[in-house]
Structure 1
Amino acid sequence: MNKSSTVNFSLKALPLAIAMALPSYAFAADTTSDQKIAQLEQQVKALQKQQTASISERFKFNGFMSMAYVTADNNSGYLDTSTSANFTDESKLGFQGSFAVTDNTQAVMQLMMRGENDWDVEAEWAYVSHRFDSGLQARGGKLRLPLFMYSDYLDVGYAQPFARPPEEVYDAVPFTSFTGGDLSYDVEFDDSTLTMQAFGGQSSDSDSNFELDFDNILGANISWTDEIWTLRVVYGQATLNGAIFNIVKIPVNDPVTGLPIEIDAKVPLLKLNDDKATFTGVGASYDNGKLLAVAEWTRVEVEGQYTDSDAGYITVGYRLGAFTPYATAAYYESQDDDQRQVVDQESAMMAALFNGQRTSYSGGVRWDALDNMAVKFDITYAHDFGDTSGGFDSNLMQEYDDVLVYTIKFDVVF
């Protein structure tokens, strides 16, 4: 029996113990005994109520939701869009709860349901944190990978000025969470704060085209802010194991009808065996309450033929009451195309999958319709694919060399 259960049992049993301790003749002789017992019972109930209130005060709960309508003028696959209306892929619902175990220790869990994953429930965060008297904070469990300016609230669209973080930068790393731990420490100056964070662990990710394990994740970032300016630098590394697949159509006969059909088969195109990957990023933002500007630049390098890439963006916005018009320019470019010379069909497929470049421009407006709800309208134009697919699996034949994407999105916190 734990300490809490022992206290509850003792409080509930107190009136009975008092009654047993009193002589039986006292109840008959002194009518005030019933009044005393009633007073004690009231005190017990008051203590129980205080204990329940104390537990509820230690628990905090909040949530967020995004619902989006997205469509494009062609089927290039940019942002996973097509000419069909899509209400699913960028829609999500999240719940986050934290419990203060002690004044310095808390447990946190964030549950996510994403439309692109058929609304299956998954734990994006699940960790325990403790802040030592020295100010050092340690966390362990499932954590968000802290590579980008918006990593901590990547799924909370309401906390972002644009409809979505630029794909060119934020899609360079195929996973967002890892299992492991981190240490962070804040250095307080007169009017600013310097935060240092180190992290390590492992993760994995897969889809129809790849199955990858990210082992020996290690990294650190440093950020400085005076609540108007924020500057940030990050470095991370990991070893990659797994495979990249090519999906091919294989003709077979239907076992029931005997008619010829085609089935999809995954053929390994590239295998990775303890290949080292590194990530470097710098970022800066300015926000004085009216003018907003944010920029990030990243470089990803992987041993072997897997893509090395550079990416960056800059966003500028201006708040006009409840409206914030914004504009973004971004780019993505693979840096090691010369390692994938086309000499046969297999090398041609490698080049088609891993070579990519594009430039995108976004214009939109955020409308803070309610205190806890923002409506965003966005148009994004991507072009300058060069002699590549633009980085889209559905455009490997280079059928498209530009694309327009239209978005209407509702972001809510509660």
Structure 2
Amino acid sequence: MSETLAASLARLPVTFGDIEAAAGVLADHVKRTSFDRSRTLSGIVGADLWLKFENLQFTATFKERGALNRLSALSADERRRGVIAASAGNHAQGVAYHAARLSIPATIFVPRGTPTVKIENTRRHGANVIEAGATLEEAAILAIDHGRERQLTFIHPYDDPMIIAGQGTIAIEMLASVPDLDVLLVPIGGGGLISGMAVAARTLRPGIEIIGVQAALYPSMYNLIKGQHLPMRGDTLAEGIAVKAPGRITSEIVRALVDDIVLVTEPQVEHALSLLITIEKTVTEGAGAAGLAAVLANQERFRGRALGLVLSGGNIDTRLLSGVLTRQLAREGRLSQLRFDIADRPGQLATIVAVLSSSGANIVEVSHQRIFTDLPAKAVLLEVVIETRDQSHLASTIAALRAAHLDVDVGGN
């Protein structure tokens, strides 16, 4: 380690000693999740790709590491009065679960629109959940005011040295298993995870490259570090990292230790999430798939290198997950909606079905529309959802329909 790096690490508000102490607190209470090489994904991206399965924690999120470390430091009086937190869901579950284990009353503010699965899981752990505020930032303001009135200790989701130290234990585990990692790719919301991991990784392997990944819709840390002014808006699949204002402490650490921050789009996150399910048979939320999304979008940059990715959480609403998987099938040409303008007379549907059958396409759904359409009165709008093997099979099916003189549009276009 160079003297410059050593001096930089010594000046930061979180030290490697803090992270080692957190590891002692977490031992036997937080799962040491597996860190495995994905042979198939490695082949797809042309790199040696390792996955840290934090989505397999009891609460399905890494957040319980920092939460337990912070809660364990409370005084007896603070434990008696209770704690309060604000979270889009994962920090809430970490705080609620370990507060219950330690017999500490917990109140959690979540922004309106937080996925139902995260809210219900938090309540199941015994916390009092209050939905308030349009954003995480608004929920946090309300939580702080609520807690001040009742003398509750506020447990910050990321901008707290003990939270950061708890999250940093992930990097210790990763590098203990694979000491020669070249790159860490870590999702960034407020920055707690990447801050802790960066302190640990820079201490254990000074030359490692550390790259943060943010959703393109919420590039808060990206803007701060790179001096940009990209807008932050909209609903992102990666709501766990949809943070408008990164922390003061985390920003200092990221600026000092993180090499780069990249942005990923919503389709890229959806694709990565789908691959993790179909290939690794593991469910992640959008934020948990962000690292893989970054690798898939920048394959030349990472080719031939050993990459460590954190699957940071697995709390995704099942309805949303269903939609993501179905949309991916459509992108791959495996599920398509065909639209036909046909004459309203016997035999037309049979003709279409015969062509689809001979082409080997599976019919999933059929819909006739005679009323709510601009077609002539003697015409029918027919919509057929079909399943095909891939894009080439879909193309040959469309060609067969057109060869039979059937006017067909794909996807309503």
Tell me the TM-score range normalised by the shorter chain. under 0.3
* Greater RCO, CA 8 A, separation 6+: 2
TM-score (normalizing by structure 2)? 0.24
TM-score (normalizing by structure 1)? 0.24
Normalized per residue, which structure has more strand? 1
